[in-house]
Amino acid sequence: MSNAKTVIIEENGGPEVLKLVDRPVGEPGPGELRLRQHACGLNYIDVYQRTGLYKLALPHPLGMEAAGVVEAVGEGVTHVKPGDRVAYAAAPPGAYAAARVMPAAQVCPLPDGISFDEGAAMMLQGLTVEYLFHRTVPLKAGDTVLFHAAAGGVGLIACQWARALGITLIGTAGTDEKCALALEHGAAHAINYTTEDFAARVKEITNGRGVDAVMDSVGQATFDGSINSLRPVGMMISFGNASGPVPPVDLALLAGKGSLQITRPTLFTHIADHARCQEMAARLFDMVISGKVKITIGARMPLDQVAEAHRALEARATTGATVLIP
């Protein structure tokens, strides 16, 4: 294979900087594989990289997850082989493509019971929920969490995952329709943050106690309310910046609010280890195959409509996951 349609950016900016070009693919080297991709996932990290909030050396392809079929493997790759169905969320960016050569360690065998579209829609978001619920803070049945953007791709998986674990999830969303969707997927409560003070409502729901953990991918717009929603010694998990980065935090604030804890984890730290990545993926696949978690794909769009997909994502006009088809 010589070339493949690939989305790149040559400068940072709005969706208009996204370009679909032909790029050479080549052969995999040691520890790499070549993948023919059937579906690509759309995520907010792609927006951060496009705008320059997360820096890339330019020009650079975009996209962090996809699913497809292995075409060739390099020396030392033993966990997958040519012809295998696979899915991944992994660095470096470059998933918006019909085919690519990439490191093999974070590419995971995709069970036959999961479609390519589902695989591309679930890896980054589903592995994020896996580390939030199993690796960031010790949670158990009966605990209560506040989860922002509960009707987004990560949020709808989190609602179902929490229900399966017996965790009470209080979700927030920007419309009554999205709140209803979160409830349908397993949220115990849903708060429309455009019409209610979510921190006050959380305290009401928890009889003044507050939640054990907040899982916040919105960032600047929700940070203060998130802190005010926690119980003493509760955990603030800031894992995204959809509304902009969180300003510097005065650590004395955490003391004054009740010895609060705060962390800023990333998925890529957790999946950097090959064995841990495969373990996390296996747990995600089990949740999906068992029916405890269903992957909601809100839109399927051709890869050449990637700019329109970015505009919808930034406008919070998406529900569930968006899949780009090469």
The string of DSSP letters for 52-77 reads TSS--PSSEE--SEEEEEEEEE-TT-
Q: Please say whether the beta carbons of 125 and 64 come within 8 A.
A: no
For every one of its 326 residues, what pLDDT tens digit does the chain have, with 9 covering 90 and above? 589 999 999 999 999 999 999 999 999 999 999 999 999 999 989 999 999 989 999 999 999 999 999 999 999 999 999 999 999 999 999 999 999 999 999 999 999 999 999 999 999 999 999 999 999 998 999 999 999 999 988 999 999 999 999 999 999 999 999 999 999 999 999 999 999 999 999 999 999 999 999 999 998 899 999 999 999 999 999 998 878 888 899 999 999 999 999 999 999 999 999 999 999 999 999 999 999 999 989 899 999 999 999 999 998 788 778 999 99
Predicted TM-score (pTM) of the model is 0.91
pLDDT value of position 243? 81
Tokens coding 17? 């900087």
> Which own/partner contact pairs does 246-249 have at CB distance under 8 Å and 24+ positions apart?
246/219, 246/220, 247/220, 247/223
CA distance 147 to 24: 41
pLDDT value of position 304? 96
pLDDT value of position 153? 84
**Backbone dihedral angles phi then psi of residue 50, each to the nearest 5 degrees:** -65, -40
Sheet holding 189-192, edge to edge: 189-192, 168-173, 144-147, 211-216, 230-238, 261-263
In one letter, which amino acid is 125? Answer: Q
pLDDT value of position 317? 82
CA distance 1 to 39: 19
The string of DSSP letters for 15-40 reads GGGEEEEEEE-----TTEEEEEEEEE
In one letter, which amino acid is 252? Answer: A
Q: Please say whether the beta carbons of 130 and 200 come within 8 A.
A: no
Going along the chain from its start, the domains and CATH numbers come out as 3-123+268-325 (3.90.180.10), 141-264 (3.40.50.720)
Place of tokens 């295998």: 84
Residue 314 C-beta-side C-alpha neighbours within 13 Å: 16
* Beta strand ranges found along 48-195 (DSSP E): 60-61, 65-73, 85-89, 99-103, 107-109, 144-147, 168-173, 189-192
Tokens coding 216? 């916040």
Q: Please say whether the beta carbons of 147 and 171 come within 8 A.
A: yes
pLDDT value of position 8? 98
The string of DSSP letters for 186-207 reads T-SEEEETTTS-HHHHHHHHTT
Closest CA relative to residue 100, chosen from 160, 161, 34: 34
Q: What Å distances lie between residue 172 and 126, 201, 254, CA to CA?
A: 19, 11, 23
